[in-house]
């Protein structure tokens, strides 16, 4: 079975406060995009055994890997006496705020559900996903969604239009727990725009920009550089970063923008031209 695991972007991300359980209460609008990891799943006769391989040798292959944890949890929760072999082609970078590991886990849950006919409804799969990570339930709905709570309360909210995007990421990543942990005491940098931006029928704002930009000043500079470019309608840190997304205006050239960003900011920038996906395009 061949599956795609799409990356996500956060169009808006608001932190409402810290919860009694140690997590933060959030409200975010997330959308899947056309940048995808690729997974191949094959059923085996080894009951409960998960075989995992990946073309990225830096990725863990045991229970630290969310895809492996998802498979183990699926078999334990359903009581299905089967096993699986998972091969992952990794395209979504680590520490990027794009949800790659969570998306891989959701794809495994969906794939095993289809492969073995678990009979679970989407809500039940989402409850399993929430045990793995806060973003996993979102990816199970295969649509733009508003996510609340710690991210596990998901409400589909399809976007009215496809948004063309350019994703730019420097060589370093940002750890999500670190960003959350420094949110409350962080301060805005002078000359950096943090307020909500409206473009293409959507609003773009991210409360995690404040702590992340305070330490990783290059990301603040990248955002402001993008906002000054004629092709760009909005620019924002995605999640906790380190990816900064640019929403392109009609006929804006991602290739031209990438070349200028490399020449003027960082020749080692990772880049990806992509677009938001509707539910029908996510499989």
Q: Annotated catalytic, 8? A: yes
The helix (run of H) or strand (run of E) holding residue 6 is strand 2-18
Q: Measured between alpha carbons, how far is residue 146 from residues 2, 74, 159, 208 in Å?
A: 28, 25, 11, 17
Rounded distance between C-alpha atoms, residue 51 and residue 112, angstroms = 14
Active site residue 135: yes
Task: List the one residue out of 151, 92, 83 whose CA is nearest residue 140.
Answer: 151
- Report the distance separating Cα 255 and Cα 154, nearest Å: 34
DSSP class of residue 279 equals G
Write down the residue that tokens 């996500």 correspond to: 8
Out of 8, 90, 169, 223, pick the active-site residue: 8
The DSSP call for residue 239 is T
Q: From the candidates 104, 135, 169, 223, which is the catalytic residue?
A: 135
Q: Are 271 and 166 in contact (CB under 8 A)?
A: yes
Per the annotation, binding residues for ATP are 93-103
Report helix, strand or coil for 40.
strand
Residue positions forming the annotated binding site? 93-103
How far apart CA 130 and CA 102 sit, in angstroms, is 10
| Distant-in-sequence, close-in-space partners of 124: CB < 8 Å, separation ≥ 6 | none
CA proximity to 174, closest of 115, 234, 93: 93
Using omega within 30 degrees of 0 as the cis cutoff, is the peptide bond preceding 242 cis? yes
Distance CA 67, CA 50 (A): 10
Residues present in the chain in total: 283
Catalytic residues: 8, 135
């Amino acid at each position: 079975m061949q599956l795609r695991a799409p990356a996500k972007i956060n169009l808006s991300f608001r932190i409402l406060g810290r919860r009694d359980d140690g997590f933060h209460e959030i409200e975010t609008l997330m959308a899947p995009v056309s940048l995808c990891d690729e997974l191949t799943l094959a059923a085996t006769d080894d009951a409960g055994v998960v075989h995992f391989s990946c073309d990225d040798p830096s990725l863990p292959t045991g229970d630290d890997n969310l895809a492996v944890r998802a498979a183990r949890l699926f078999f334990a929760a359903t009581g299905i006496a089967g096993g699986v072999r998972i091969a992952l082609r990794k395209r979504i970078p680590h520490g990027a705020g794009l949800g790659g590991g969570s998306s891989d886990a959701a794809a495994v849950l969906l794939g095993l559900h289809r492969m073995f006919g678990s009979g679970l409804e989407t809500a039940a799969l989402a409850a399993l996903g929430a045990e793995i990570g806060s973003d996993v339930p979102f990816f199970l709905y295969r649509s733009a969604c508003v996510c609340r709570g710690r991210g596990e309360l998901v409400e589909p909210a399809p976007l009215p239009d496809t948004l063309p995007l350019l994703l730019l990421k420097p060589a370093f990543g940002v750890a999500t727990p670190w960003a959350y942990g420094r949110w409350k005491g962080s301060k805005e940098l002078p000359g950096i725009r943090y307020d909500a931006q409206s473009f293409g029928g959507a609003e773009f704002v991210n409360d995690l920009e404040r702590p992340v930009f305070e330490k990783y000043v290059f990301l603040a500079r990248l955002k402001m550089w993008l906002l000054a470019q004629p092709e760009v309608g909005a620019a924002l840190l995605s999640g906790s970063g380190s990816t900064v997304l640019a929403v392109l205006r009609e006929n804006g050239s991602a290739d031209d923008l990438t070349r200028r960003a490399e020449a003027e900011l960082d020749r080692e920038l990772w880049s990806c031209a992509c677009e938001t996906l509707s539910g029908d395009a996510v499989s």
